Amino acid sequence: MIYFDHNATTPLAPEVLEAMAPYLSGCWGNPSSPYRFGNEARTAVEGARGRIAGCLGCKPSEVVFTASGTESDNLAVRGVARASRLRGNHIVTTAIEHHAVLNTCKALETDGYRVTYLPVNPAGVVEIDALAGSLTPETVLVTVMHANNETGVIQPVEEIARIVRKRGIVFHVDAVQTAGKLSSRLAELGADLVSFSGHKLYGPKGTAALYVREGTALCPIITGGAHEMGLRAGTENVTGIVGLSAALELAAASSQKGGRRLQGLRDRLEAMVRERIPKVRFNGTSVARVPNTSSLSFDAVDGESIVLALDLAGICVSTGSACSTGEPEPSHVLLAMGLTAREAQGTIRISLGRDTRNEDVDGTVEALTEVIERLRSISSA
Amino acid sequence: MTRPPADGGKSGRPVYSGPVIYYNQTVIEHFTRPRHVGELAQEETDGFGLVGDPSCGDQMKLWICVRSGRIAKIAFRSFGCPGAIATSSMLTVLAQGKSLEAAKGITDDDVVEALGGIPERKKHCSLLGVRALKAAIADWESRRAGAKENQG
């Protein structure tokens, strides 16, 4: 099997599994218990928090563990909205956010919040001028993803941070697709809140965190005990947290060199496709992207048909994002970039990973060439 | 797994769509090796149907050649998802050789049943082929009516 869907999820790194193993069986105490056995688990959780803080470039008290990137996004968006309700009711986001942010903002709209969905240019980059113009005295939160999951296009979050924070508005960045791919020093992006998830960086599923800059007004969305500085109740996922820290440390040690290698493979794949297959649109190639992602739109064929045909050839790719598989609507990200519904329909995402080799790229391009030719021979378009 | 809710969207929530999200072997076989793909020559074409489903952008073209009130030849092209391609292919298999009356009676349930079922979220795909066939038969009927008028 060739696995080219690393933006959906990644395999657990052997080093991460090894780090987690002791906590799957022996050290199963509750970190909040007052005896030594509980304290062993507490030590594991706080050790992991400290190592993660070291990778992010922040204090341990600024790391809040959650159970998914989606939960981190929810805590950031709902948590700020609730904490700032008396100051204002306006939220600014972009048209290309992950559904974790987009649908949370839409839910807040029904609760009386006003949300601005900023447009992106044809390359998929949010319009900074539109962002600056959208801020009002009522604006309490700006939330922009670091890189888009479907196209890999990187957003100018550092520049946005300067504009937004000067106005005293809280800034959240969904870095789920960049943590471990770009720099791991996420606290240096300049945002107040940053989400990232374990299973996108060779860690376990069900693990994630939210960086919360000291002093940021935030309300919990899961209430109960006083876990996680009162921001996220529930007994800590000790094994998962240990795995998350091991995965992030591994990524921090290798992201630069690994990134260059992946970019070489990705660029080679795109060059080969350009050479062999006619009528392809390459999305986001004119701007900075995460090094592992390629978004390709094939004319006159359907993306899901490409995915199934490649699957039968032993190759895993996706249409837009994994979450929207099964939805008949074309990708909101591609439509926001100005693609027609037909172009969006013929789009697949290829996302390479740590284990990708040259021959995987060659084999995939070969299979893809055949698949597109066959599907076009059936197509009525 | 999400798909449009069965209550017509009143709740706005996706509904549970069962454990099977993948295609069965028959569907995959018809997707991989669809039957009757292509077009009929103009002189052979007695009816043509073109339908598109705006909800997912799929499109289908279908040609029929009618001899002695039966579908003697059938051909299709489909721009669509695996469900659309496989159901279109199976529809042409069911329709081939049938009398026009019998062909008109083919339902999307017949197509899905012949394929041994398709994932719940793909059920609407089977409508495309059935509608294209109905459109092609309607086209044949209007051509015949036109020809009779010309004779009269």
The pLDDT assigned to B38 comes to 97
Sorted by sequence, the CB contacts under 8 Å of residue A9 that are 6+ apart come out as A199, A200, A205, A322
Nearest to A144 by CA among A136, A156, A132: A156
A174/A101 Cα distance (integer angstroms): 8
pLDDT of the residue at B54:
53
Interface test with chain A among B2, B60, B76, B81, by most A beta carbons within 10 Å? B81
Cβ-defined contact of B1 to A381 (cutoff 8 Å) = no
pLDDT for res B14: 67
Mean of the per-residue pLDDT values of chain B: 87
Query: What part of B 72-111 touches A (C-beta under 8 Å)?
Result: 76-82, 84-85
Nearest by Cα to A93 from A155, A41, A153, A39: A155
Contact A326 B21 (CB under 8 A): yes
Residue B28 sits at the chain A interface (C-beta within 8 Å)? yes
Burial of A318 (0-12, 13-18, 19+ CB in 10 A): buried
Please give the Cα distance from B63 to B75 (Å, whole number): 5
> Within a 10 A sphere around the Cβ of A128, how many other Cβ atoms?
14
Calculate the alpha carbon distances from A143 to A69, A146, A164 in Å.
14, 10, 10
Give per-residue pLDDT as tens, A356-379.
999 999 999 999 999 999 999 999
Interior CA angle at A118 toward A115 and A124, to 5°?
Answer: 145
* Residues in B touching A328 (Cβ below 8 Å): 4, 55-56, 121, 124
- Low-confidence winner among A87-91, A124-128, B56-60 (lowest mean pLDDT): B56-60
Q: What is the mean pLDDT of residues A206-219?
A: 98
- pLDDT surpassing 70 at residue B73: yes
Q: Which fold has domain A15-251?
A: Aspartate Aminotransferase; domain 2 (3.40.640)
Residues of A whose CB is below 8 A from B57: 302, 330, 341-342, 345
Q: Which residues contact A371 (CB under 8 A, 6 or more apart)?
A: A306, A309, A310, A313
DSSP string, A265-331: HHHHHHHHHHHH-SSEEEETTTS-B-TTEEEEEETTS-HHHHHHHHHHTTEE-BSS-GGGTT--SPP
Considering the segment(s) A2-7+254-371 as one domain, its CATH architecture is Alpha-Beta Complex (3.90)
Residue A32 has pLDDT above 60, yes or no: yes
Q: How confident is the model at residue B1 (pLDDT cuts 50, 70, 90)?
A: very low
Mutation target to probe the A interface, by most A beta carbons within 10 A, among B25, B56, B87, B123 is B56
> Number of residue pairs across A and B with CB atoms under 8 Å?
60
For position A269, what pLDDT does the model report?
Answer: 98
Q: Which amino acid is at A132?
A: A
What pLDDT is stored for residue B20 in this prediction? Answer: 59
Residues of B in contact with A316 (CB under 8 A): none
Q: What is the largest CA-CA distance in chain A?
A: 70
Considering chain A, tell me which residue range(s) the CATH 3.40.640.10 domain(s) occupy: 15-251
Residue recorded with tokens 């992946």: A262
How far is Cα A57 from Cα A188, in angstroms, rounded to an integer? Answer: 7
What residue has token string 């032993």?
A: A314
| Contact status of A77 with chain B (Cβ, < 8 Å) | no
Nearest to B78 among A308, A345, A380 (CB): A380
**C-alpha radius of gyration, chain A, whole number:** 21
| Percentage of residues of chain A with pLDDT beyond 70 | 98
Predicted confidence band at B146 (pLDDT cuts at 50, 70, 90)?
confident
Residue with the two structure tokens 């899905």: B112
Asked if A312 and B28 come within 8 Å (Cβ–Cβ), the reply is yes
Picking from A326, A342, A378, the nearest residue to B78 by CB comes out as A378
Out of B21, B79, B124, name the one closest to residue A380 (CB): B79
Residues A156 and A162 sit within 8 Å (Cβ to Cβ): no
Across the interface, which of B34, B60, B82 has its CB nearest the CB of A380?
Answer: B60
A373–chain B Cβ distance below 8 A for any pair:
no
Q: Specify whether A323 is catalytic.
A: yes
Check whether B8 has a pLDDT greater than 70. Answer: no
Q: Mean of the per-residue pLDDT values for chain A?
A: 95
Does the pLDDT of residue B5 top 50, yes or no? no
**To the nearest whole angstrom, how far is the Cα of A380 from the nearest Cα of chain B?**
5
Q: How far is CA A154 from CA A124, A173, A347, B136, in A?
A: 9, 12, 19, 49
The CA-based dihedral angle spanning residues B76, B79, B83, B88, taken in that order and rounded to the nearest 10 degrees: -10
Nearest CA in chain B to A327: B3
**Is A327 a residue whose pLDDT tops 70?**
no
In chain A, residues with a C-beta closer than 8 Å to the C-beta of B4 are: 328
Residues of A in contact with B2 (CB under 8 A): 326-327
The CA distance from A10 to A205, in Å, is: 9
Percent of chain A clearing pLDDT 90 (strictly above): 93
Instruction: Give residue B5's Cα distance to chain centre.
Output: 24
At residue A33, the 3 state secondary structure works out as: coil
Q: Supply the pLDDT for residue A170.
A: 98
Residue A22 to residues A17, A27, A242, B22, B77, Cα–Cα distance (Å): 10, 6, 10, 37, 57
Rounded to a whole number of angstroms, the distance from the CA of B150 to the nearest CA of chain A is 32
pTM of this structure: 0.93
CB pair distance less than 8 Å for B56 and A377:
no
Token representation of residue A129: 């001028």
Q: Give the ipTM.
A: 0.88
Strands of A280-283's sheet, edge to edge? A280-283, A293-298, A347-351
Q: What is the pLDDT of residues B82-102, one digit of tens each?
A: 999 999 999 999 999 999 999
B32–chain A Cβ distance below 8 A for any pair = yes
- Residue A105, min C-alpha distance to chain B (Å): 15
CB-based contact, B42 to chain A, within 8 Å:
no
| Facing residue for A302 by CB, picked from B28, B55, B80 | B80
What confidence category does residue A11 fall into, taking pLDDT thresholds of 50, 70 and 90?
Answer: very high
Residue A341 touches partner B, C-beta closer than 8 Å:
yes
Top CATH class of B25-139 equals alpha beta
| Smallest Cα distance from A379 to chain B, Å | 4
Angle at the Cα of A223 from the Cα atoms of A93 and A192, rounded to 5 degrees: 35
Catalytic residue among A27, A219, A316, A323: A323
Active-site annotation of B, residues: 56, 125
What's the rounded mean pLDDT across residues A63-88?
Answer: 97
Percentage, residues of chain B above pLDDT 90: 66
State how far the Cα of A54 lies from the Cα of B91, in Å rounded to an integer: 61
Q: Is A331 on the interface with B (CB under 8 A)?
A: no
Decide if pLDDT at A48 tops 80: yes
pLDDT at A3 over 70: yes
- A99, with CB counted inside 10 A (0-12, 13-18, 19+), is middle
- Give the whole-angstrom CA distance, residue A40 versus residue A35: 9
* Interface contact B121, partner A, CB < 8 A: yes
**Per-residue model confidence as pLDDT tens digits over A279-312:** 999 999 999 999 999 999 999 999 999 999 999 9
**Is there a contact between A342 and B57 if contact means CB atoms under 8 Å apart?**
yes
Name which residue leads in pLDDT, B20 or A109. A109
* Beta strands A90-94; A114-118: pairing state: parallel
Helix (H, G, I), strand (E, B) or coil at A112: coil
**Spatial separation of the C-alpha atoms in residues A21 and A40, rounded to whole Å:** 15
pLDDT reading at B12 higher than 70: no
Whether A326 contacts chain B with CB within 8 A:
yes
What was the pLDDT predicted at B150?
75
CA distance B143 to chain A (A): 23
